[in-house]
Amino acid sequence: MQHDTYRAGSRSRREHSPKRQQIVAMVLGTYREMPGLSLLIADAVRLFGLPLDTCRAVLDHLVAAGTLRRTDRGHYQQAGDVVA
């Protein structure tokens, strides 16, 4: 019985939270709209309104895909942006 309650709660949470594709599209759109954007993880969490773990997972996924890069100082930037 507990398992059913947990599943129902999880399903409800999923219905109200943005899907991964929507989050990725939002992040990529923001970087496209603001060339030169350079965010620390704390800044990205505030800007995108996401939990820390979710935000980090999405940004790290985009780094692994080659869309973003993470600098030595921890800034997430669009991979094609020129570093000054």
Domains of the chain by range and CATH? 19-78 (1.10.10.10)
Sign (positive/negative) of CA torsion 78, 20, 74, 42?
Answer: positive
CA–CA dist 36, 40 (Å, integer): 13
For residue 19, how many C-alpha atoms fall within 13 Å in the half-sphere facing its CB?
3
How far is Cα of residue 83 from the mean position of the Cα atoms in its chain? 21
Higher pLDDT, 10 or 37: 37
The two three-digit tokens of residue 22, written as one number:
């929507």
- Choose among 45, 42, 39: nearest CA to 68: 39
- Choose among 51, 41, 47, 62: nearest CA to 17: 51
* This prediction's pTM: 0.74
Higher pLDDT, 81 or 37: 37
pLDDT tens digits for 34-74? 999 999 999 999 999 999 999 999 999 999 999 999 999 99
